[in-house]
C-alpha cells in the first residue's frame, strides 16, 4: 500500500508537504500541489483512515444492528439509510443479531472496537448489560423497538394506534370473535400492538373473551403457519384475524392459501406491513401499511446531523410515524352466507 512517505520520497519532498498538498493547504504552491496530486494518482495512493483516526479523525461508518436483513422491513430501512448516508460520505455496517442478545453483544463489541461513528439499533428484547454500557459510549439511535436503558433517541411507528385501527375496522364490520396473532410481548413493539388490539375491543364494548391471541416467541413464517392452523381448529374459531408481524403474516397467507380457506368468506384477515405479493394474495390483503421509508430517512438525517455537530446535543428525541390501513378485499362482515346489504 502506498503511503504519503512513498510519494514524498518519489518527489524528494517531505511527508508534511505531501499531506498538506493533498489536503489543499493554502500555504503550498500550486505547482507542488499539482505534482503531488499527479504522483498520488499515478501511484494509486489511498489515504489510510486508520491512521487518520489515530489522529482524532472520526470513523465514517455507521452501523445498523437489526434482527434479520431478509425481513423486507429491515432491508427497506437498510436501503434508505445507505442511500442517505452515501450522499454524506458515510458507509453502512450491517450487523444481524437474529434476536440473540449474545450475538448483539458480540456485534456491539466489534463496532465499538472499530470506533464506528454511530449505531442505529433495533434492540433485542432484553439487551445484555455490557451492550448497554457499550452503547453509552457510542452515538446511537433506537429504531422501532425501544428499550428504556438504551437512551431516549428513538424512531418508530405508532404500533398501538395501527393495531387499534386495524382491529376497529373488523369490529365495525360486525366481528365479535377476533384473533390477534403477533410477536412476543417481551418486545416493546409486540406489547404495544397487543395493547392496540385490546384497546379496540374494549372501546367497542366487546367482552374480554372476544379476542383470542396467539403470541409467538418466534416471529417466523413457520410459526405463523402453525399458529393459524391452531386458531382455525375447534368449534368457536374466530371469524377475523389481525396480524402483528410481517413474518407471521407471510406464514399465515401461505397456510390459508394452501388450506383453501375462503377469505373473507370464512375468515377476514388484516395483515401487517405491505409486501409485494400482499396485493395479489387471494382477494387482495387488507393490511397495515407502515411508513418505513419515511421513518428510515428521518432516522438517517437525524443521525447525520447529530454526527456532524460536535456538541453533545443528545437531547431526548422521539419520532412516531403513523401507520395506515390499506383496504383491499380480505375483510368482510362475518357469516358470509348472508351477503348482508349493509353499507
Partner DNA sequence: ATGAAAGCGCTAACAG
Partner DNA sequence: CTGTTAGCGCTTTCAT
Q: In this complex, which beta carbon is closest to DNA, that of residue 84 or of residue 112?
A: 112
> In this structure, what C-alpha cell is assigned to residue 80?
434508505
- Least distance (Å) between residue 18 CB and its own copies: 16
Total of residues contacting its own copies (CB under 8 A): 58
To 10 degrees, what angle do helices 15-22 and 30-43 make?
A: 90
Q: Please tell me the distance from the alpha carbon of residue 136 to that of residue 314, in angstroms, as a whole number.
A: 11
Assess 287 for contact with its own copies (CB under 8 A). no
> Cα(96)–Cα(88) distance, rounded to whole angstroms?
24
Q: Which is nearer to DNA, 45 or 155 (CB)?
A: 45
95 binds, among DNA, its own copies, none (CB under 5 to 8 A by kind): its own copies
Choice between 4 and 239, CB closer to DNA: 4
Q: Does 291 bind its own copies (CB under 8 A)?
A: no
Report if residue 103 touches its own copies, rule: CB under 8 A.
Answer: yes
CB of 310 to DNA, least distance (A): 14
Can you give the binding site for DNA, defined by CB under 7 A? 1, 3-5, 12-17, 19-20, 22-23, 25, 27-29, 31-32, 45, 47-48, 51-52, 54-57
Tell me the sheet residues that pair with 130: none
Question: What does DSSP say about strands 324-326 and 286-289: parallel, antiparallel, or unpaired?
Answer: antiparallel
Which position among 9, 14, 50, 126 is part of the footprint of its own copies (CB under 8 A)? Answer: 50
Those residues with Cβ within 8 angstroms of residue 146's Cβ, 6 or more apart along the chain or in another chain:
123, 154, 156, 188
**Least CB distance to its own copies at residue 82 (A):** 5
CA atoms within 13 A on the CB side of 264: 26
304: partner contacted, choices its own copies, DNA, none (Cβ within 5-8 A by kind): none
Contact call for residue 22 and its own copies (CB under 8 A): no
Q: Residue 165 and residue 171: Cα distance in Å, rounded?
A: 10
In angstroms, the CA 76 to CA 74 distance is 5
Q: How far is the CB of 129 from its own copies (least distance, A)?
A: 11
> Cβ-count burial of 132 within 10 angstroms (0-12 exposed, 13-18 middle, 19+ buried)?
middle
C-beta closer to DNA: residue 31 or 209: 31
Full DSSP string of 275-336 = -TTTTTSTT--EEEE--HHHHHHHHHHHHHHHHHS-S-----EEEEE--EEE--SS---S-T
The verdict on 75 binding its own copies (CB under 8 A) reads yes
Interface pick for its own copies out of 9, 14, 34, 137 (rule CB under 8 A): 137
- Stretch of residues binding its own copies (CB under 8 A), selected from 119-127, 253-261, 296-304, 317-325: 253-261
| Integer Cα distance of 143 and 65 in angstroms | 9
Instruction: List contacts with its own copies (CB under 8 A).
Output: 1, 44, 46-51, 53-54, 60-61, 64, 68-70, 72, 75-76, 78-79, 82-83, 86, 89, 91-96, 98, 103, 106-107, 109-115, 133-134, 137, 221, 250, 253-254, 257, 275-282
Amino acid at each position: 500500500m502506498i503511503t504519503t512517505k512513498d510519494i514524498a520520497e518519489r518527489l524528494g519532498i517531505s511527508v508534511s508537504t505531501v499531506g498538506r498538498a493533498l489536503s489543499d493547504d493554502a500555504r503550498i504552491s500550486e505547482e507542488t500541489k499539482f505534482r503531488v496530486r499527479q504522483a498520488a494518482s499515478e501511484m494509486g495512493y489511498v489515504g489510510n483512515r486508520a491512521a487518520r483516526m489515530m489522529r482524532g479523525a472520526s470513523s465514517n461508518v455507521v452501523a445498523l444492528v437489526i434482527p434479520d436483513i431478509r425481513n423486507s422491513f429491515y432491508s427497506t430501512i437498510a436501503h434508505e439509510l445507505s442511500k442517505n448516508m452515501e450522499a454524506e460520505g458515510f458507509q453502512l455496517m450491517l450487523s444481524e443479531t437474529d434476536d440473540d442478545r449474545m450475538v448483539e453483544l458480540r456485534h456491539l463489541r466489534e463496532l465499538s472496537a472499530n470506533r464506528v461513528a454511530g449505531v442505529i439499533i433495533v434492540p433485542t428484547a432484553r439487551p445484555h448489560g455490557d451492550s448497554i454500557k457499550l452503547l453509552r459510549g457510542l452515538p446511537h439511535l433506537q429504531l422501532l423497538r425501544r428499550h428504556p436503558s438504551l437512551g431516549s433517541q428513538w424512531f418508530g411507528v405508532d404500533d398501538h394506534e395501527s393495531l387499534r385501527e386495524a382491529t376497529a375496522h373488523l369490529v365495525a364490520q360486525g366481528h365479535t370473535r377476533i384473533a390477534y396473532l403477533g410477536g412476543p410481548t417481551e418486545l416493546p413493539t409486540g406489547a404495544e400492538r397487543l395493547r392496540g388490539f385490546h384497546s379496540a375491543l374494549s372501546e367497542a364494548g366487546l367482552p374480554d373473551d372476544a379476542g383470542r391471541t396467539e403470541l409467538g416467541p418466534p416471529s417466523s413464517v413457520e410459526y405463523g403457519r402453525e399458529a393459524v392452523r391452531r386458531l382455525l381448529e375447534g368449534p368457536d374459531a374466530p371469524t377475523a384475524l389481525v396480524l402483528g408481524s410481517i413474518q407471521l403474516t407471510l406464514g399465515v397467507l401461505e397456510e390459508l392459501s394452501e388450506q383453501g380457506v375462503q377469505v373473507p368468506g370464512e375468515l377476514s384477515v388484516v395483515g401487517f406491513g405491505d409486501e409485494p405479493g400482499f396485493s395479489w394474495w387471494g382477494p387482495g390483503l387488507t393490511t397495515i401499511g407502515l411508513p418505513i421509508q419515511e421513518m428510515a430517512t428521518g432516522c438517517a438525517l437525524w443521525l447525520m446531523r447529530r454526527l456532524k455537530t460536535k456538541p453533545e446535543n443528545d437531547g431526548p428525541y422521539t419520532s412516531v410515524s403513523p401507520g395506515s390501513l390499506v383496504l383491499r378485499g380480505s375483510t368482510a362482515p362475518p357469516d358470509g352466507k348472508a351477503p348482508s346489504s349493509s353499507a
